Structure 1
Amino acid sequence: MADKAEEQRIALLIDADNAPASKIDVVLSEVARHGVANVRRAYGNWKSPAMKGWEAVLHEYAIRPIQQFAYSKGKNASDMAMVIDAMDLLYAGKLDAFAIVSSDADFTPLVMRLLTEGVRVYGYGAQQTPEPFVNACTVFTYLEALGQPSEAGGGTQKARPTKQLRDDKRLVQMLRNAVEAAGEDDGWAHLSAVGKQISNQASFDPRNHGYRKLSDLIDAIGLFEVKRQGQVVLVRDKASARQKAKSGSK
């Protein structure tokens, strides 16, 4: 990983009311891929019996518990406290990125605000996390995709079969747009450039689809030609290549 990524200073903010304590080890491992979690805070009403699972891991992973009482029934005061702290940390100007652990779409405006200041936002939540929150993050990874590798190498998330991948119109269009944007005149594009184009378009992690790497997902979806030259992987849209060949033969 590049030195710049390793030097990133990250604030890890955990919505403990909406995140499982059992996944904190893999979340921290994932955050470490992007940089150093200088700030580690977990928000919740620690008087609640439901928070018992978190108590055992707070000290072990040097996570600071932030107590927030529920002042009104049915309202999540922890969310508000987390947003206020995030803005304070942002204005202090000592961080490069935020890692937010939650499955609550209410954090979407916060993510969008952080992005406007040029910081990256890494999101982690359950698979049922609403799409607005998922798509707002720089990268959002499902908690189910983290952990022990599955057969496809994408964590505990089951690999989506080819038909299901192809039926995902948003995924197919995103991949095709990225290959086209990164491609040369002959249609071939470096996979690394394709990955960069995708990250500029939207939040994306191949592990959310059950595949460890982008190249594994590209192979599985079967819509692209793949050419490997040593460490270099090149991809080309099959449909686009056929169309160009047909036009050239006229």
Structure 2
Amino acid sequence: MSDTKRIALLIDCDNVSHNSIEGVLEELAKYGMVNVRHAHGDWKSPGLSGWIERLHANAIRPMQQFAYTKGKNATDSAMIIDAMDLLYSNNVDAFALMTSDSDFTPLVLRILENGLPVYGFGEKKTPKPFVDACSPFIYTENLEETDEKKPTKKVADIGTKAALRKDTSLVRLLRTAVEQTSGDDDWANLSRVGAYVSNNSSFSAINYGYKRLSDLIKASDLFEIQMRHNDSAMYIKDARK
């Protein structure tokens, strides 16, 4: 039996842009195989034309949901039912929800109760309750690439040393993670730090313009760094100690 994690990606096309779908799939490939790819929306709506162009190219199955009542979002209910069907099928090991709608927060909590992780992707307008419920949560703007395939200036700005050190929530999270996972000598293995952070927050280094936690750690200059085991493992220590 394969150990590859099976991931179900459910997309709320009414509330998230199509421009980052390739980046989302590339990010999910780090965690496992996205064997279920469902895009929910009213495909008669001209507002989803951008999504239509991306479906076949990325092997995404469109899930039609008609707007039965004007002003009501029927997509939410259909996507929740889809998620619950998949949850009880026992054919997936994790969920990825691509939406900017906080109405899906109870769904995330329900999936977590079953012991399955939920990876969240949404625009920066996404309400905090949904962001905090997912682990990790990645802003889709950070997965979009410019023509030169470089981070946008906005992403680069938030990842500077000064900006990282001014982010008190980030600094507290990282220092707490190191403190909780360090040995008697105050040094902590970065892989354990990363696991602690993932289990206790919606943090993702991508939201700060970095592909890896190790790159963010180096840029912040908050920790002393040692490479051990023939440079295969990074250990860090609070620079204040």
TM-score with structure 2 setting the length: 0.90
Q: CA deviation at 1:99?
A: 1.0
Matched, 1:37 2:34: yes
The C-alpha deviation readout for 1:22-71, integer Å capped at 9, x for no partner, is 22222222222211122111111111111111112222222111111222
Runs of 5+ in structure 2 lacking a partner?
none
Identity, in percent, stands at 51
In 1, Cα distance between the equivalents of 2:147 and 2:211? 9
In 2, Cα distance between the equivalents of 1:213 and 1:237? 19
Q: CA deviation at 1:82?
A: 0.2
Figure out how many residues of one structure are paired with residues of the other and give that number: 235
2:141 maps to a residue whose letter is E
2:137 maps to a residue whose letter is F
Instruction: Classify the secondary structure of the residue corresponding to 2:52.
Output: helix
In structure 1, which of residues 12, 21, 26 is the aligned counterpart of residue 23 of structure 2?
A: 26
The C-alpha deviation readout for 1:147-195, integer Å capped at 9, x for no partner, is 44999x9954325222322222211111011000111112111111111
Instruction: Classify the secondary structure of the residue corresponding to 2:71.
Output: coil
Q: Is the 8 A contact 2:111 2:117 kept in 1?
A: yes
In 1, Cα distance between the equivalents of 2:147 and 2:215? 13
Q: Is the 8 A contact 1:223 1:237 kept in 2?
A: yes
Aligned position for 2:61: 64
1:77 maps to a residue whose letter is A
Matched, 1:80 2:81: no
Which has the higher Rg, Structure 1 or Structure 2? 1
The 1:155/1:97 distance shift into structure 2, 3 A limit, reads farther
- Alpha-carbon RMSD across the aligned residues, in angstroms, is 2.1
In 1, Cα distance between the equivalents of 2:64 and 2:185? 58
Aligned position for 1:232: 233
In 2, Cα distance between the equivalents of 1:205 and 1:149? 20
Q: How does 1:127-146 map to 2 (within 5 A)?
A: 127-146=124-143
Q: How does 1:47-196 map to 2 (within 5 A)?
A: 47-148=44-145, 155-156=151-152, 157-160=155-158, 161-196=160-195
Runs of 5+ in structure 1 lacking a partner?
242-250
In 2, Cα distance between the equivalents of 1:37 and 1:216? 26
The C-alpha deviation readout for 1:73-104, integer Å capped at 9, x for no partner, is 32211011101110111011111011111111
1:16 maps to a residue whose letter is C
* Higher mean C-alpha deviation, range 210-219 or range 139-148: 139-148
Q: Is the 8 A contact 2:41 2:64 kept in 1?
A: yes
Q: Is the 8 A contact 2:181 2:193 kept in 1?
A: yes
In 1, Cα distance between the equivalents of 2:147 and 2:199? 28
In 2, Cα distance between the equivalents of 1:150 and 1:227? 36
TM-score with structure 1 setting the length: 0.87
In 2, Cα distance between the equivalents of 1:130 and 1:17? 16
In 1, Cα distance between the equivalents of 2:72 and 2:15? 13
Q: Is the 8 A contact 1:150 1:158 kept in 2?
A: no
1:119 maps to a residue whose letter is L
Instruction: Classify the secondary structure of the residue corresponding to 2:162.
Output: helix
* Higher mean C-alpha deviation, range 133-142 or range 18-27: 18-27
